[in-house]
Each structure stands twice: as C-alpha cells, then as structure tokens.
Structure 1
Amino acid sequence: MAHNINYNSSTGKYSFFSVKQNAWHGLGQIVQQYPTSQEAIRHAGLDYDVAKSELYTKGSGIIQSADGIEVCSTELIVPDYYANIRTDNNAVLGVVGKDYQIVQNREAFSFFDAIIGGSDGILYETAGALGQGERIFITAKLPDYIRVGKGDDVTEKYIFLTTSHDGSGSITAAFTPIRIVCQNTLNASLRSMSNVVRIRHTSGAKQRLDDAHKVMGLADKLSLQLEGIFNEWAKVKVTDQQVKKMIQLALCPNAETLALIKKGAEEQVSTVFKNTVEDAFAYAMVSDTQQMETTKGTLFGAYNAVTGYYQNVRKYKDQEAKLQSIVMGGTAQAKSQKAFELCTAFQTQGAEILKLN
C-alpha cells in the first residue's frame, strides 16, 4: 500500500481527512467545513490512545524432581523497555525506552489550539495516521497572508506537525508558506533562523508542547521576513538565461556536475540532470503562475521556478514521498533552500554570483 494511510478495520475507514479537496489516492473523509480540533480528530480516525506496556521474553530452566529432569519455560521481564500499544485494537506501534513519554493525538491537536488560544483563527485542513497509527500528521492554516506586489500574489501560512508513537523521532512542527495561486510549497530557509521546531519524547515533552507560542512566534517572524524579501525580489529583473543558470546551480546534484557547469561544459553533464533543468526552465517560462507581474522576468519568479518544479512538475512515488521531499527536509526542501541562497546572493552581488557558485 504505497500511500501507507492507516485503515481501521473496525470502522471500515481510512485514517485521513481533508477539507474540500480529495484525499491522497481518493481515500479518507472529505469535509466541506473547517472542523474544530475535536471534530478533526474524529474525521481523521485519530481518536485512539496509546499506552506503554511492559515487555516480556521467554526463558527456560531445568527442574529436577522425583520423576526425573524436566525442562520448563518462564516469562522474564525486559528491563527499561516498553511496547507502545494502540489501546483500541492492541496494535503494537513500537518499542521505546523508560524515559519515553507518550504524546497522545489529542495533545498534538491541543498544541495548535494553544497557538491562538483556541479561537476560530486556526483552520485544520488535513490530518491522518500512517501505518498502524504509529505516525500522525496535521496541517493547519494560520490567519493572514504573505502578500507580494500589489496583493494579487498571496501566500497562505501553514503549520505542519508530525509525531510518532514508535520511538522513531521527535515531535516536529514546521512553518510552511504555500502560494495560493499554484500551491507552491515555498519552505524558504532563512539564514537567521530555522523554520522547524523539534521536541523530544522525553519527560519534558508535554511541557514544551504546551509552549506553542514559540512556534507561532516563529511563523510570524518568518512570514514578515519572507514578505519583505519576496517583495524586493519581485522588483529585481533577471534575464531568461540568468533564470536557467540559477536553476542549474540550485538543482545541481553533486560537485562533479557543478565543476562542469562552472567550466561551461554543460554538454558533459548527465542526461537526467539536463532533462531536470529543462523541465524546470520550461515551467519557469510557460506556467501561468510565472506570467504574473511579480514573477515574469523577476528574481521572485526565478525562485518560484525551483519550488514550482518540485510541487507541480516532478513525479513522486506517492504523496508520502512528496510530503517528505517538500516539507520534511528532503530533496525539494534542500534545493529550495539553495535557490533561496542564490537569489539572496544575486540581489546583493548581481549576476557575478552565477559565475562563482
């Protein structure tokens, strides 16, 4: 099952919900109105608890009695390790240590509710569970927008959260601006701060989870900075050849390819890389979203050519792979960060930066 969305056999439903738009692979529940956190938990099939249970293993011993020697088995407790069990169906989600603290699904949603005091300002767009329910994810829309130009080109502000019940990683909350016009995930990484907050599943996890204003503050600072940066980029003119060069540098897969580009020996790079660059450049030249006043022939448009390629052109194995690539620190996010750095350097140093990188 490539989508890996949890199927709850007791309810006959997939553990996923989305507002208005179809869910991944047509699965899950589609709702027409933005739900409350309690409703979202039910829609997404996340209304289950997780409990830590002691682990046991079998041992053997020899007993000598009047009837002779007898081999017997006994249960032995495994010290300092526990199984995380889903209480509604007894599915074992993973093995964790004694210091691991469970963050229940409803507590993950309360993280978002706490951001703006449980008001109506936050809008839950998607949520779901993967595997047997060992990983959950939530996407919530925040109030207000990032506006570029005269206001026709706007970007919505989202926070994405994922957490696991199998001991495989931390609670992760990421600020993600998504461009309304073409749904480009921008995920710009500024030099001054990270756009991701990670919280470990340790004894202080709940306390830090409750400290939700940290993430909201991060989103506010990032969005204000991005709005200023993008508006400046929308004023900087670039040629088509400069756009193509930036795409080459941003998507460059390794040092060998970069060396060939620097030497002007593009004919020697791999066919795969050539095709990738051509696809991204074609998107930059003909996509409707690249013909706006803020994007056509501008530095902002050059940046969107890279992010738009990964969101709208590149093929992925499935939606989970796309999510990993774009939001959770995968290839698309790394290349978008490189594009962001190139555009920042171009703004201050001009076209010379395209010869030196």
Structure 2
Amino acid sequence: MPANIETMFYVREAPWHGLGNRVEHALSSDEALQAAGLDWTVIQKSIQTEDFAEIPGYKANIRASDQRMLGVVTDRYKIVQNYEAFAFADELLGEGVRFETAGSLQNGKKVWLLAKLPENYIIAGDRISPYMVFSNSHDGSGSIKVAMTPVRIVCQNTLNLALNSAKRMWTTIHTGNIKSKLEEAKKTLLHAELYMDKLGVEIDRLHRIKTPDHKVLEYIEFLLPMPEQATKLQEKNVQQLREDLHARYFEAPDLKQVGKNGYRFINAVSDFATHAKPLRETASYKENLFLRTMEGNPLIDRAYELILATA
C-alpha cells in the first residue's frame, strides 16, 4: 500500500488506489468502524527529555493498539475518538445511516468517513444525493471538519458549490468543550435541507444562463491560462488540459440532454476537476482530490463565479 493509505473499506466500487476491504453493501457504524480498521483509541502521554524531565504544556497522542505516536499536541488539545465520529454521524443522520467508505491516512494521523443521507433530490431533472463527510486528525495538524457534499448520481460529479446563502461545512479546533461543539455542529448540519434547496435554486439559475460555443472556449482559456513566455512543453500541457475540458463539455454522453448552459459547464468542470488525471501523477493526488471534495474545489468555484459574473 502507498504510505498515505493505512486502512480503509469501500462499498462495491473501489475508490482511489483500489485498496482496502471490499464490502457488497453499505455498513452500520459498528460494522464500518471495524471494516475500516478504525476500531482503536488514542491516548495521551507526557513528553520527557532524555534525563526524564517532563516537558510542560505538551502531550503525545499515542495509538493505544500499537503505541504508535501520532503527533505532539498542547495539553489543551481534546481527543475526538474514532468511535465518537461514527456516533456523531449516527446521531446526526438518524438511526439506519449507512457508511459508504471510511479509513485512515498517514499511519492513523488522519481519519475520514463518508455517509449517504437517506434522501435523494430531483433538481432540474437530475437525481442528486447528499453525502456527509467527517474528517479528523490525531496529530494536531488540522481541525475537525464536517461537510455536506451533493453528488450528481448519473456521473458521480460533486456539486459542492460554495453558496453565499447556505453553509455546507463546519469546522472546530480540538480545544474547549468538544461535546458542545459537536452538538452545535449537529444543529448547523441539520440545515442540510436548506443547502440543498439553495443549490436547487442555483442550478435552475445556471440552467437559464446560455453558453454559446465561443463563450465556452473563453471560459476554458480563462480557467486554464497559458503562462507568459511558456515553454513548448508548457504550451503542450496546457493545450492538453484544455482539450480534455473541451471534450467533457461538448462530448459527455450524460450532458447531451442538458443543453448548452451554465449548468452543463459546471458539470464539465466538476468532471474535469474530480476525475481527470494530472499531467504528473503523484502518490497522494487522489487523497488530495478527496479532501477537495470535502472542502470545495477551487476550480469548480472559479467556474461558478465566472459564469455568474459574465451572464
């Protein structure tokens, strides 16, 4: 396994590198915790110098199962255990929630879970399913994050647009009263329906924005600019990327019936941003794609802003 992925499970179709434990149906929280290899806890131990003098103000986060050190944190850091993340999702989404994938990265330093909400939405003729993503780190490097990620089912494109009118992500640091913060997050995320309603309004708006072919070419050049004084290799690479995005807009079978409008272009950009392989494939590029699926992909947001600004 590549170093970035430690353990994981997935339902039916393998994500990322095709690694982990394959299961044939979505799992309950208890089942998912074990299948993902996340049924371990984190403990804190004091840090000492070579002559056994304790270093005040800091603790080491240690995985109890194998005593692996996950990171050094301040003594104000509050641990959110893996089982607490799954329990939080259970409480948030209600009894019967099913988890699609979960796992750990970087030898347990970071963990995630993705669960499908029970409702589907039909927006502008498309079936869109909202998912919840929970991401946590045990090394002190990042905050707790919970986000809604709508997915267009026919092609698995994410439509997690940054809307000014509805919040879709909540974060908090590992200090203070974590339980109360998770309760507050639950209240925030219970407004997922509001986000989906606002998303529906925006998709209808994008449908009404016509995109003539010459405008689409301008959009593509704006999103994938040619560097000044570009080398021959840079020119070739940028042109290759532009042709890829061009094909995803003009030739994608699932967009043939959508019409030439802003929604079609957003879907083409989303497909490009989340499914196209980079020119130079690194070991962690798919993990980074997953994080951008949660936090929002800047290319998709730029395309969305561009269409609204030039409508």
- Could you say which residue in structure 2 is the equivalent of 1:68? none
Q: Would you say the 8 A contact 2:135–2:146 is kept in 1?
A: yes
In 2, distance between residues paired with 1:251 and 1:325? 18
Letter in 1 for 2:299: K
* SS at structure 1 position matched to 2:50: strand
Q: Would you say the 8 A contact 1:183–1:311 is kept in 2?
A: no
Runs of 4 or more consecutive aligned structure 1 residues displaced over 4 Å after TM superposition:
none
Q: Work out which of the residue numbers 39, 42, 53 in structure 2 matches 1:76.
A: 53
Aligned residue runs from structure 1 range 203-222, under 5 A:
203-222=176-195
- Could you say which residue in structure 2 is the equivalent of 1:139? 114
- Tell me the alpha carbon deviations over residues 215-263 of structure 1, each in whole angstroms, 9 at most, x when there is no partner: 4234222111111211232243321121222222234488x69xxxxxx
In 1, distance between residues paired with 2:88 and 2:287? 23
Indicate how the Cα distance of structure 1 residues 300 and 3 shifts in structure 2: closer, same or farther if over 3 A, else same.
farther
Q: Work out which of the residue numbers 239, 242, 254 in structure 2 matches 1:289.
A: 254
Aligned residue runs from structure 1 range 1-357, under 5 A:
2=2, 4-6=4-6, 15-59=7-51, 75-116=52-93, 118-120=94-96, 122-149=97-124, 151=125, 153-252=126-225, 270-292=235-257, 294=258, 296-315=259-278, 316-317=281-282, 318-329=285-296, 333-346=297-310, 350=311
Indicate how the Cα distance of structure 1 residues 239 and 303 shifts in structure 2: closer, same or farther if over 3 A, else same.
same
* SS at structure 1 position matched to 2:295: coil
In 2, distance between residues paired with 1:2 and 1:326? 21
In 2, distance between residues paired with 1:238 and 1:211? 41
* SS at structure 2 position matched to 1:154: strand
Q: Which runs of 5+ in 2 are unaligned?
A: none
Q: Would you say the 8 A contact 1:4–1:131 is kept in 2?
A: yes
Query: Structure 1 residue 3: deviation in Å?
Result: 5.8
Query: Structure 1 residue 277: deviation in Å?
Result: 1.9
Q: Would you say the 8 A contact 1:16–1:43 is kept in 2?
A: yes
Query: Structure 1 residue 193: deviation in Å?
Result: 4.3
In 2, distance between residues paired with 1:4 and 1:188? 27
In 2, distance between residues paired with 1:216 and 1:41? 22
Letter in 2 for 1:82: K
In 2, distance between residues paired with 1:178 and 1:160? 12
Question: Aligned pairs, how many?
Answer: 305
Q: Would you say the 8 A contact 1:3–1:24 is kept in 2?
A: no
Indicate how the Cα distance of structure 1 residues 22 and 314 shifts in structure 2: closer, same or farther if over 3 A, else same.
closer
| Range with greater deviation from structure 2 (41-50 or 241-250) | 241-250
Q: Would you say the 8 A contact 1:158–1:177 is kept in 2?
A: yes
In 2, distance between residues paired with 1:44 and 1:183? 22
In 1, distance between residues paired with 2:289 and 2:151? 15
Q: Which runs of 5+ in 1 are unaligned?
A: 7-14, 60-74, 258-268, 351-357
- Percent identity over the alignment is 34
Q: Would you say the 8 A contact 1:114–1:210 is kept in 2?
A: no
Name which one, 1 or 2, has greater alpha-carbon Rg: 1
Query: Structure 1 residue 2: deviation in Å?
Result: 3.5
In 2, distance between residues paired with 1:138 and 1:253? 38
Indicate how the Cα distance of structure 1 residues 45 and 178 shifts in structure 2: closer, same or farther if over 3 A, else same.
same
* SS at structure 1 position matched to 2:146: strand
Q: Would you say the 8 A contact 2:44–2:61 is kept in 1?
A: yes
In 2, distance between residues paired with 1:248 and 1:326? 23
Indicate how the Cα distance of structure 1 residues 200 and 236 shifts in structure 2: closer, same or farther if over 3 A, else same.
same
* SS at structure 2 position matched to 1:307: helix
Q: Would you say the 8 A contact 1:175–1:196 is kept in 2?
A: yes
Normalising by structure 1, we get a TM-score of 0.79
* SS at structure 2 position matched to 1:162: strand
In 1, distance between residues paired with 2:173 and 2:300? 27
Q: Would you say the 8 A contact 1:111–1:212 is kept in 2?
A: no
